[in-house]
Chain A
Amino acid sequence: DQQVKQNSPSLSVQEGRISILNCDYTNSMFDYFLWYKKYPAEGPTFLISISSIKDKNEDGRFTVFLNKSAKHLSLHIVPSQPGDSAVYFCAASQRGGSNYKLTFGKGTLLTVNP
């Protein structure tokens, strides 16, 4: 049973445009959400996170939105750059229970075309 789902395996956008990556979750106990970025032959690297008490968090070109009622979060990248081409993983955890396990989605391959 997949508790974190990324339904789009891939996404292609033009340089300078907005990239929107989506993630859905089923476990209502999740209270902290993260996005990781992964280049080929490297490990995932942390990108941005959001607590369930917020609905938006911004860091430069990256913004994460959380809709708790819909159990949905999205990552916006504006403007997209060719160097953003990578696999993006959504992850979730239950901070409240001092549970440090991260549950990951399967990832979305983003390709930004010059």
Chain B
Amino acid sequence: DAGVIQSPRHEVTEMGQEVTLRCKPISGHDYLFWYRQTMMRGLELLIYFNNNVPIDDSGMPEDRFSAKMPNASFSTLKIQPSEPRDSAVYFCASSLLGGETQYFGPGTRLLVL
């Protein structure tokens, strides 16, 4: 199995631009999680889905952030408009039956100038 796949691995953009991060979970996994890692706040959960349905989005920082999961093999996290404080590493993770063993992707390192 290829594991969780994220793209792009690195993204540099200018303030005000739209950013779209992509994730392909492990085949057969029914839970998908989006995390953000920063020096100040560590690793924090943004949103998670079960069977493509958003369950808890209480960690999404503001309306500029949105996430979708149109099917079981694809999810996006969009930031519009982006701001310098959004610079972070964004991780996607998936798990089976909500098990605590979440499998993480390699992350997308985002830099907003």
Contact residues in B for A106 (Cβ distance below 8 Å): 42-43
Specify which of A36, A49, A98, A103 is in contact with B98 (CB 8 Å cutoff). Answer: A98
Is A43 within 8 A of B105, CB to CB?
A: yes
Contact residues in A for B54 (Cβ distance below 8 Å): none
Number of A residues, CB within 8 Å of B: 23
Q: Report if A101-B102 is in contact (Cβ < 8 Å); known contacts: A43-B91, A43-B93.
A: no
CB of A62 within 8 Å of the partner chain = no
Q: Report if A104-B100 is in contact (Cβ < 8 Å); known contacts: A43-B91, A43-B93.
A: no
CB of B45 within 8 Å of the partner chain = yes
Q: Report if A93-B100 is in contact (Cβ < 8 Å); known contacts: A100-B31, A100-B95.
A: yes
Q: Report if A43-B4 is in contact (Cβ < 8 Å); known contacts: A89-B43, A100-B31, A106-B42.
A: yes
- Of all chain B residues, which has the CB nearest A6? B42
Contact residues in B for A95 (Cβ distance below 8 Å): 100
Is A43 within 8 A of B100, CB to CB?
A: no
Q: How far is B84's CA from A106's CA once the two chains are assembled, in angstroms? A: 21
Q: Give 1 or 0 for each of B13-48: 1 = CB within 8 Å of chain A CB.
A: 000000000000000000101000000001111001
CB contacts under 8 Å to A, within B55-94, are 55-56, 91, 93
Contact residues in A for B106 (Cβ distance below 8 Å): 41-43
Contact residues in B for A98 (Cβ distance below 8 Å): 98
CB contacts under 8 Å to B, within A42-81, are 42-46, 49
Specify which of A41, A42, A49 is in contact with B101 (CB 8 Å cutoff). Answer: A49
11 additional A-B pairs beyond A42-B106, A46-B102, A49-B100, beta carbons within 8 Å, are A34-B100, A42-B107, A44-B43, A45-B103, A45-B104, A49-B101, A89-B43, A93-B100, A100-B50, A101-B48, A106-B42
Residue pairs across A and B with Cβ atoms less than 8 A apart, 15 shown, are: A41-B106, A43-B107, A44-B104, A46-B103, A91-B100, A95-B100, A100-B55, A100-B95, A100-B99, A101-B48, A102-B33, A102-B100, A102-B102, A104-B44, A106-B42
* A interface with B by C-beta (< 8 Å): 32, 34, 36, 41-46, 49, 89, 91, 93, 95, 98, 100-107
